[in-house]
Amino acid sequence: MTYIAKPKFRHPDLEPNARGFTRRDYEGKVSTLCAGCGHDSISAAIIQAVYELDLEPHRIAKMSGIGCSSKTPDYFLGASHGFNSVHGRMPSVLTGANLANRDLIYMGVSGDGDSASIGLGQFAHSIRRGVNMVYIVENNGVYGLTKGQFSATSDKGSKSKRGVVNHDAPIDMVGLALQLGATYVARSFSGDKAQLVPLIKGAILHHGAAFIDCISPCVAFNNHDGSTKSYDYVREHNEAVNRLDVITGRAPIKLDQEPGTLALVQQHDGSTLRLRKIHADYDPGDRLEAMSYLAQRAAEGEIVTGLLYVDPEAQDHHDYLGTVATPLNQLQSEDLIPSASALDKINESLR
Amino acid sequence: MALQPTDTKNPDYFHKVVDCQWACPAHTPVPEYIREIAAGNYTDAYMINWRSNVFPGILGRTCDRPCEPACRRGRVEEEPVAICRLKRVAADNKDDIRARLPSAPARRNGKKIACVGAGPASLTVARDLAPLGYEIHVYDGEKQSAGMIRSQIPRFRLPESVIDEEVGYITAIGNIELRLGRRIESLKALLAEDYDAIFVGSGAPRGRDLDIPGRKEAAKRIHIGIDWLSNVSFGHIHHIGKRVIVLGGGNTAMDCCRTARRLGGEDVKVIVRSGFEEMKASPWEKEDAMHEGIPILNYLVPKAFTHANGKLTGVTFERVAAVYDDKGRRALKPTGEPDEHYECDDVLVAVGQENAFPWIERDIGLAFDKWDMPQVDPVTFQSTNPKVFFGGDAAFGPKNIIWAVAHGHDAAISIDKFVHGQSVADRPPPMVTLVSQKMGIHEWAYDNDISADLRYKVPLVDKDVALKDVRTEVELGFDKKLGYAEAQRCLNCDVQTVFSAPLCIECDACVDICPMDCITFTENGEEEDLRARLNAPAQNKTQALYVSDALKTGRIMAKDEDVCLHCGLCAERCPTGAWDMQRFTLDITHADHRCQTR
């Protein structure tokens, strides 16, 4: 870890956003992760995305479980709400928090151990219920905190740092998320912020369960030859299907691309997802096609990245349950305690 | 065309990153001595200075500090590190350094050098050459040494004891004979003596006069600034009238007005032709003058001295305004308002000074240019008479002490080469080293924690006390505690961020941690284009971009040196050691190093 605090000085030309905050204002403490950890880049991407969206820090709640990835909420959005739950239980805690106060933006940060092993059930149900959240798995395919055992997302045939071959089949978090009904599904790479930042922005603006599987190399235990989650391997096998720009507000959008190479997706909140297609045939609106395409490419050894699926008309669990719009902590006693006449009315109906 | 990778082997590249050292004419290794001050090693800090700039105690009070406007700290926050006054901290707190000074060898080398003028340039030449076995004779018309340091800088800024001490370190080397009170009246005659080379460091001793109506009639109370200052310094003048007008806007004018305040001037004003902002005086000197209750009136051009019965009564001024033409050139145009008259008892004229060489004959093979200045090579300081070298104000007109010292070093190298039959044009390269500062995974051999403190003010003597006596030093200087705090503001720019492309895995860790957004990984391009698309666009074109070889992805690393804090976090967060913090030392070669191998 680094002993000195990151100096408060910032570049004199650093622009404040519409809220008057510079990007530096969204930082957290200095990371205690290993130098070069992909997770730190994801933290930086989250900072960049929130800064660009002009969000106020106090409107965001960061939730996490246990693991290297789950430590990271300490290293970004230092002025936001946060909750570090027990191992694998982040999705449940997030679901509860969201039910109690739907006004906040929920960001669940987890890892492959936290979400694909101990917390797989929690993960599945939070996605299945359509909790309005950004769920980011910082996926390095290894148990870094316990010195490099394979995790449930390690590819079959990949090698550990000590040369041991993994024989277990991997869990594909993106495939699961699609199958379980996530309405915004993306995969990205910590070493490609140009791709990652807009995907996080789109996920934050998405109304519904947004899931991002972010490959994040573990420099200490999973960045060697034979690893399928190393910087070099991911760069070589990365197949981006599209490039996303997120346009907030309802400003007219200019098309400066050749027809057929650009798709515009209008989201609930009025923001627009502008997708520059790299694979012309790929349609991120078709869930079944996405599932089969991903399976095909995975069989070829490719890592498909980009915005893989989005349902712009998605609903969340509040919509399904018809819950009260006001956060529970703002409900007054008159809302919570029915009057005598209301009781009479109920009693009357049961007579 | 895409940028080529930065050639860090060129000694200038990292030298330029150390803005203060690059800006210092003598290339004093500033961060190096500031670290010594922070560590309490005042003697070492002093010796680093002494080697580079010869007069640390004097310069620590009087330097024109070209280093400070260059200081990176001034671009990161509001004000630069108080480099100049830290130098004084080293001088004030050092131990006895005499054992660490060089001395002349027992055997002389048989060469004799004459220095004309006993000011900073000549004394530097003497210091550099005496340890090599030269016999040096320093001539001066005044009875005391140090030239303008003693004659023109007022005692309240620079106590005589400091001058005596630092001149004493030089003469103690040995083989240096100060021939004071002996003005050289003929260079021809000096050339006829048996000197192997002659160095002219006679300064710019003539103050410019103001030839306007009334000058002759009121002459008795109109004084040329630098002459008046030296008369005060040498104890010939003790008083001045109650109402004093100082004409001129340079540092001499500031010394004049502040001296006048101490000699009985109660209503002292500085009146300048130009605007306040454009005055030649350093901002801090103006500030010091105003602090002593001296108003500075601007845009007033002196028109006439008024007088009655042969006695000065005041000065009449025409009010002007700055007018700019299409090319942005400024002219001072009369506003047409009625002339303004200011009453006074004395006027001090400080409107510039000039070189004067009535003692140099024009038939000795020493060519003069169209401004009647000797033709001097700007690198070797040799005149067209190969035996005669110039330096300090005598070479290129009035500058300041630190320039005189730098000239002296270069002239000494030339003289040493010349008398040994070597080419003076062949200059010795500086010695450059880069040493990793890594001590452990997150430990460095320098203090990389960045102080957020703002610049500390130098404590002053109470104004009422200061104004009573021209010999009371007005600045108290930083004490050890303040000196430490100010030293901690230094960003250690000589601890360089050194990048190795083959080691980089492009993980972005350095980009993410850099507090100043200096580092970008991107496609190469032309400099203009590249500067515009960095994480923080590099607008300051005087500062270099550090560009790497192509990396695995085909991209390059581009670092904008402009506002880098040298905090080392890039290197701490780098998993492969592609970034390292390496201390850059640049040892300017002086004449005394000719025979040494280092």
> Closest to B515 (Cβ–Cβ): which among A9, A38, A193?
A9
Asked whether the beta carbons of residue A219 and residue B573 sit closer than 8 angstroms, the reply is no
- The torsion angles phi and psi of A217, rounded to 5 degrees, stand at -60, 140
Asked whether the beta carbons of residue A36 and residue B576 sit closer than 8 angstroms, the reply is yes
Strand ranges inside chain A, DSSP E: 60-64, 81-84, 105-111, 133-139, 142-143, 149-150, 184-189, 209-215, 238-240, 242-247, 262-266, 272-277, 303-310
Q: What is the mean pLDDT of residues B352-361?
A: 91
Instruction: State the Cα–Cα distance between residues B407 and B290, nearest whole angstrom.
Output: 33
Asked whether the beta carbons of residue A40 and residue B452 sit closer than 8 angstroms, the reply is no
- The torsion angles phi and psi of B388, rounded to 5 degrees, stand at -110, 130
Asked whether the beta carbons of residue B512 and residue A4 sit closer than 8 angstroms, the reply is no
> Is residue A2 included in any domain, yes or no?
no
Asked whether the beta carbons of residue A36 and residue B574 sit closer than 8 angstroms, the reply is yes
Residues B322 and B397 in one domain: no
CA distance to A54, A201, A246, B378, per residue, from A249 (Å): 12, 13, 10, 63
pLDDT at A246: 86
Any idea which residue has 């000058």 for tokens? B215
Q: Is A13 on the interface with B (CB under 8 A)?
A: yes
**Bigger pLDDT: A245 vs B406:** B406
pLDDT band at A279 (very low <50, low <70, confident <90, very high): confident
Measured in angstroms, the CA of A285 and the nearest CA of chain B are apart by: 32
Of A216, A346, A345, A239, residue with least CA distance to A302: A239
Of B138, B183, B552, B198, residue with least CA distance to B365: B198
Angle subtended at Cα A223 by Cα A218 and Cα A226, rounded to the nearest 5 degrees:
130
pLDDT band at B593 (very low <50, low <70, confident <90, very high): low
- pTM score: 0.91
Does residue A248 surpass a pLDDT of 90? no
Token pair for A261: 């190479």
Chain A residues whose CB is inside 8 A of the B446 CB are none
Measured in angstroms, the CA of B288 and the nearest CA of chain A are apart by: 30
Neighbour count for residue B425 (Cβ, 10 Å):
11
Residues B559 and B577 in one domain: yes
CB pairs under 8 A between A and B: 99
Q: Is B406 on the interface with A (CB under 8 A)?
A: no
> Closest to B505 (Cβ–Cβ): which among A2, A4, A231?
A231
Any idea which residue has 């780098």 for tokens? B574
> Is residue A47 included in any domain, yes or no?
yes
Instruction: State the Cα–Cα distance between residues B32 and B208, nearest whole angstrom.
Output: 41
> Is residue A343 included in any domain, yes or no?
no
Does residue B594 surpass a pLDDT of 90? no
Is-contact A238 A189, C-beta < 8 A?
Answer: yes
Chain A residues whose CB is inside 8 A of the B521 CB are none
Instruction: State the Cα–Cα distance between residues A18 and B403, nearest whole angstrom.
Output: 50
Residues B445 and B589 in one domain: yes
Residues B590 and B580 in one domain: yes
Smallest CA–CA distance from A43 into chain B, residue: B512
Measured in angstroms, the CA of B515 and the nearest CA of chain A are apart by: 6
Token pair for B2: 């895409």
pLDDT at A194: 92
3-state secondary structure string across B370-426? CCCCECECCCCCEECCCCEEECCHHHHCCCCHHHHHHHHHHHHHHHHHHHCCCCCCC
Asked whether the beta carbons of residue A36 and residue B567 sit closer than 8 angstroms, the reply is no
Is-contact B411 B121, C-beta < 8 A?
Answer: yes
The total number of structural domains in chain B stands at 3
Residues B449 and B529 in one domain: yes
Report how far Cα B87 is from the mean position of its chain's Cα atoms.
12
Choosing from B323, B352, B381, the residue where a domain stops is B352
Asked whether the beta carbons of residue B536 and residue A8 sit closer than 8 angstroms, the reply is no
Smallest CA–CA distance from B442 into chain A, residue: A2
Smallest CA–CA distance from A223 into chain B, residue: B505
Does residue A272 surpass a pLDDT of 90? no
Measured in angstroms, the CA of B578 and the nearest CA of chain A are apart by: 11
Token pair for B138: 């320093």
Asked whether the beta carbons of residue A7 and residue B452 sit closer than 8 angstroms, the reply is yes
Instruction: State the Cα–Cα distance between residues A243 and B320, nearest whole angstrom.
Output: 63
Q: How many residues appear in chain B?
A: 598
The total number of structural domains in chain A stands at 1
pLDDT tens for A62-110 read 999 999 999 999 999 999 999 999 999 999 999 999 999 999 999 999 9
pLDDT tens for B189-208 read 999 999 999 999 999 888 99
Intra-chain end-to-end CA distance of chain A, in Å: 69
Instruction: State the Cα–Cα distance between residues B257 and B268, nearest whole angstrom.
Output: 6
Smallest CA–CA distance from A39 into chain B, residue: B509
Does residue A49 surpass a pLDDT of 60? yes
Is-contact B501 B551, C-beta < 8 A?
Answer: yes
The secondary structure element, H or E, covering residue B234 is none
Smallest CA–CA distance from B448 into chain A, residue: A4
Which residues neighbour B511 within 8 Å (Cβ) at sequence distance 6 or greater? Answer: A44, B519, B520, B521, B535
Residues B190 and B240 in one domain: no
Measured in angstroms, the CA of B556 and the nearest CA of chain A are apart by: 15
Q: What is the mean pLDDT of residues A324-350?
A: 91
pLDDT at B64: 94
> Is residue A17 included in any domain, yes or no?
no
Residues B583 and B437 in one domain: yes
Asked whether the beta carbons of residue B448 and residue A4 sit closer than 8 angstroms, the reply is yes
pLDDT band at A135 (very low <50, low <70, confident <90, very high): very high
Is-contact B549 B556, C-beta < 8 A?
Answer: yes
Of B356, B93, B323, residue with least CA distance to B206: B356
> Closest to A219 (Cβ–Cβ): which among B507, B512, B516?
B507
Smallest CA–CA distance from B552 into chain A, residue: A232
Instruction: State the Cα–Cα distance between residues B19 and B409, nearest whole angstrom.
Output: 21
Asked whether the beta carbons of residue B573 and residue A9 sit closer than 8 angstroms, the reply is no
pLDDT at B343: 97
pLDDT at A257: 47
Neighbour count for residue B452 (Cβ, 10 Å):
11
Does residue B84 surpass a pLDDT of 70? yes
Smallest CA–CA distance from B450 into chain A, residue: A7
* CA atoms within a 13 Å half-sphere pointing along the CA-CB vector of A249: 6
Instruction: State the Cα–Cα distance between residues A49 and A80, nearest whole angstrom.
Output: 14
Q: What is the mean pLDDT of residues B16-23?
A: 98
> Is residue B17 included in any domain, yes or no?
yes
- The torsion angles phi and psi of B381, rounded to 5 degrees, stand at 65, 20
Ordered alpha helix ranges (H), B442-549: 463-466, 480-487, 509-513, 527-532
Chain A residues whose CB is inside 8 A of the B511 CB are 44
> Is residue B405 included in any domain, yes or no?
yes
Strand ranges inside B130-229, DSSP E: 135-140, 176-180, 197-200, 206-207, 222-224
Strand ranges inside B4-157, DSSP E: 112-116, 135-140
Chain A residues whose CB is inside 8 A of the B513 CB are 2, 6, 30-31, 40
3-state secondary structure string across B23-56? HCCCCCCHHHHHHHHHCCCHHHHHHHHHHHHCCH
pLDDT at A258: 55
Give percent of chain B with pLDDT exceeding 90. Answer: 93
Residues B511 and B559 in one domain: yes
Asked whether the beta carbons of residue B515 and residue A2 sit closer than 8 angstroms, the reply is no
pLDDT at B469: 95
Chain A residues whose CB is inside 8 A of the B576 CB are 36
> Closest to B442 (Cβ–Cβ): which among A3, A6, A10?
A3
Measured in angstroms, the CA of B564 and the nearest CA of chain A are apart by: 9
Q: Is A223 on the interface with B (CB under 8 A)?
A: yes
pLDDT tens for B102-151 read 999 999 999 999 999 999 999 999 999 999 999 999 999 999 999 999 99
- Whichever domain contains A212, its CATH number is 3.40.50.970
Its domain, for residue B531, covers 1-21+430-598
Give percent of chain B with pLDDT exceeding 70. Answer: 99
Smallest CA–CA distance from A216 into chain B, residue: B507
Neighbour count for residue A314 (Cβ, 10 Å):
20
Residue of B507, B513, B551 to mutate, interface with A, max A Cβ within 10 Å = B507
Q: What is the mean pLDDT of residues B458-464?
A: 95
Chain A residues whose CB is inside 8 A of the B442 CB are 1-3
Asked whether the beta carbons of residue A2 and residue B573 sit closer than 8 angstroms, the reply is yes
Residue of A13, A41, A75, A230 to mutate, interface with B, max B Cβ within 10 Å = A13
Measured in angstroms, the CA of B481 and the nearest CA of chain A are apart by: 22
Mean pLDDT of chain B, nearest integer: 95
Does residue A180 surpass a pLDDT of 80? yes
Angle subtended at Cα B36 by Cα B30 and Cα B37, rounded to the nearest 5 degrees:
90
Measured in angstroms, the CA of B346 and the nearest CA of chain A are apart by: 48
Its domain, for residue A317, covers 23-326
Q: Is A74 on the interface with B (CB under 8 A)?
A: no
Does residue B597 surpass a pLDDT of 60? no
Give percent of chain A with pLDDT exceeding 90. Answer: 80
Asked whether the beta carbons of residue A36 and residue B575 sit closer than 8 angstroms, the reply is yes
Three-class DSSP category at B272? coil
pLDDT at A255: 45
pLDDT tens for B281-308 read 999 999 999 999 999 999 999 999 999 9
CA distance to B120, B177, B355, B375, per residue, from B200 (Å): 11, 16, 12, 13
* CA atoms within a 13 Å half-sphere pointing along the CA-CB vector of B355: 24
Chain B residues whose CB is inside 8 A of the A2 CB are 442, 513, 569, 572-573
Choosing from B419, B452, B469, the residue where a domain stops is B419
pLDDT at A251: 54
Residues B396 and B532 in one domain: no
Is-contact B267 B244, C-beta < 8 A?
Answer: yes
Instruction: State the Cα–Cα distance between residues B531 and B3, nearest whole angstrom.
Output: 11
Q: Is B356 on the interface with A (CB under 8 A)?
A: no
Measured in angstroms, the CA of B562 and the nearest CA of chain A are apart by: 10
Considering Cα of A304, then A307, then A312, then A315, what sign does the dihedral take?
A: positive
Residues B216 and B317 in one domain: yes
pLDDT band at B585 (very low <50, low <70, confident <90, very high): very high
Smallest CA–CA distance from B74 into chain A, residue: A12
Does residue B596 surpass a pLDDT of 50? no
Q: Which amino acid is at B30?
A: V
Residues B196 and B217 in one domain: no
Does residue A265 surpass a pLDDT of 90? no
Residues B212 and B243 in one domain: yes
As separate numbers, helices (DSSP H) first and strands (DSSP E) second, chain A gives 12, 13
Is-contact A117 A151, C-beta < 8 A?
Answer: yes
Strand ranges inside B74-221, DSSP E: 112-116, 135-140, 176-180, 197-200, 206-207
Choosing from B319, B352, B385, the residue where a domain stops is B352
